[in-house]
Amino acid sequence: MLRYFLFLTVTVLLSCEQDPLTVRNVDIDERTESSGLTEFDPTVETGWTASDGIRTATAPASLELLPQDEALTLSFNFRMSENAEAKLLLGGQHALALPSLTLDTTAFMRSAVDIRPDVWQNLEIAYLPATATTPALLVATYLNGNLVYYQQPLPDVESGGPLTLELTEGEMSVTNLQQSGEAGKASSLASNGEVNLNLPLIHYAYYAVDGRPKTFDGWATQEPAKEGYISRFDLGAIREANRDYAIRFEGNLQIPKAGPYTFHLRSSTHSALFIDGEPVVALGPDTEGIENDGTVTLSEGTHEVRLDHYQETNWNHLLLKYSYGEQERKSFNDMPEGQAVATPRSQETTPVETDDRPYLLRSFLNFPMARVYDYTQKRTHVVNVGEADGPHYSYDLQNGALLQVWRGPFVDVSEMWEDRGEPQVVRALGPAVSFDGRPQWATDANEWPVEADGLRHRRYELDAEGRPTFIFSHGEAGEVSDHLVPNAQGLERTLTNQTGGETLLTTIASAASIRETAPGVFETLNPGLNIQVLELASGGLRLLKGEGTQRLVAELPPGEHLTYAIDW
């Protein structure tokens, strides 16, 4: 009995002495999906020092990232001191300024840019160099996943040069340099051997057709009405009429694994697929129905793809799938039915204005924030909370997750309130920082849930300023609550476990990497956040480490709460 009391006393003393801000590292069996990009080192470095994979410099300094002016997708993370200035030279000549992201030419910015000092940012660029007949093209530029430029031509120059980052003022750090030799997402081979085909970029030529002929054969003789680049066979984004037009799509396809590929074509009119100039599958006057298959054996490497489409009816419909061997059909750069695909936001917006009183707007939301023409998901139980110039946020009432935060204007509801058509979603009008969207609460740290199990939104209560506290039931154990309040830097969030006897785990941050800079203070990479734990009386912190992904969580015993601040 004496031993028992001694053991109990020691246990109580140790638990009392344990600092709740102490972080316990836990390895978990989770891995992030590959981006398709590969890490690389700069070819020339002047004025930079490296430590733990991070390069840091004080101006003047330069990094020659890649020596040649070639098609590429480039991604890297950077952090700048206050008043720092730099420029990224595409082809050695086209200057993209940092932190403003302005170009040395007249350009339309599709999103505002808000780069805060000493916070990690992510920049991704898809770029095509100039040819003998076409100028260089900035296919897409993303800052923290927000589309800034899309299909932006660059000024004509005589010759290209290296891709260089030049720091001209202040201090700058860069890390996580990644690239591919394609101006977009290329094909890949999954770890399980499954083939994922994708044309990284598609050139299109659009023709207006007169006289309503049964077939169109003016590909070589008629001048196209317009030409450009796109990432999917999206008729709606290109066509200028409901019928009587033709489009030729062309691109280079990387085959990651040799073997038989079957292509399934579904079209309301005349369509034909060619690979390396040879016909693979077609629909038209010589075929019956609206579907057809064709199989071709392809070697590993690059192949030329062409898809000709002539629209002679009012039903605009084009789908193209592929399968490898016994693999199930997958979309081949088409606009799949029943799957949300991210598209560029229209220049015409219907903004919701905000004032000092919080505005709560229920909506659908395409999430996660995806690259143009990448897959996304439609979240159907979202509330957007905005006040004044922000911070604003979007919140998932099905799983208690904070989805995105931003400053500036509130939301664009044109796709909700105009015409009442698809997709009926809101879009943040300011540059948003997007989170992983997984359930906020869990009981097992070894495998964080994808779907919320036992969590159900019950109600929200407004405080004196009109800010909501979201309240959920957690199984039969009781309730949990979530309250977000703007502060001078960003948001303060308080999560409370009001259940009857179960210690719960709740997410503070999920990112590619999370680093503790002081007790209770953290910086994250992808997304770039600065986080400070303000209140945590008991429980503790765990850093769940997977492959390419990390999650910082807090243990919350019954009756306890967690308060932390987010800055971005």
Written as one letter, the residue type at 77 is N
Residue 568 is classified by DSSP as -
Helix/strand/coil percentages in the chain, nearest 5:
5, 50, 45
Under a CB-based contact definition with an 8 Å cutoff, are residues 47 and 61 in contact?
yes
Is 359 within 8 Å of 410 (Cβ atoms)?
yes
Q: How confident is the model at residue 36 (pLDDT cuts 50, 70, 90)?
A: confident
SS3 assignment, position 4: helix
For residue 258, give both structure tokens: 């040799």
CB 244 within 8 A of CB 208: yes
Instruction: Assess whether pLDDT exceeds 50 at residue 13.
Output: no
pLDDT level of residue 421 (50, 70, 90 thresholds): low
CATH class of 38-180: mainly beta
**What's the pLDDT score for residue 4?**
41
- Residues 482, 117, 396, CA angle at the centre, nearest 5°? 25
The domain made up of 441-567 has a fold known as Maltose phosphorylase, domain 3 (2.60.420)
pTM of the model: 0.91
Q: pLDDT tens across 432-458, in order? A: 999 999 999 999 888 899 999 899 999
Res 431 pLDDT > 50: yes
Instruction: Please give the radius of gyration of the chain, using alpha carbons only, rounded to the nearest integer.
Output: 26
Q: Scan for tokens 């694994």, then name that residue.
A: 257
Rounded CA-CA distance 121/528 in Å is: 6
**Which contacts (CB < 8 Å, 24+ apart) does range 93-97 have?**
93/157, 93/160, 93/161, 94/136, 94/138, 94/154, 94/155, 94/157, 96/125, 96/141
pLDDT tens figures, 514-542: 999 999 999 999 999 999 999 998 889 99
Closest CA to 76 of 85, 68, 88, 84: 88
Q: Are strands 359-367 and 377-386 parallel, antiparallel or unpaired?
A: antiparallel
| Least confident stretch, 15-19, 166-170, 326-330, 471-475 | 15-19
Instruction: Report how far residue 393's alpha carbon sits from residue 404's, in angstroms, rounded to the nearest whole number.
Output: 6
Rounded CA-CA distance 184/102 in Å is 22
Domain 188-331 belongs to what topology?
Jelly Rolls (2.60.120)
CA distance 220 to 167: 48
Query: Closest by alpha carbon to 393, among 315, 327, 486?
Result: 486
CA torsion angle 44 162 94 47 (round to 10): 10
Q: What percent of the chain is modeled with pLDDT above 70?
A: 96
**Do the first three CATH levels of 38-180 and 188-331 match, i.e. the same topology?**
yes
**463-510 pLDDT per residue, tens:** 999 999 999 999 888 999 999 999 988 999 999 999 988 899 999 999
- 154 close to 115: Cβ distance less than 8 angstroms: no
Which amino acid belongs to residue 495? L
pLDDT, residue 196, reads 96
Q: Is residue 6 predicted with pLDDT exceeding 60? A: no
> Which amino acid is it at 553?
V
Domain borders along the chain are 38-180, 188-331, 351-434, 441-567
Give residue-wise pLDDT tens across range 177-227.
999 999 999 999 988 889 999 999 999 999 999 999 999 999 999 999 999
Q: CA–CA separation, 1 vs 6, rounded Å?
A: 9
Residues pairing with 344 in the sheet: none
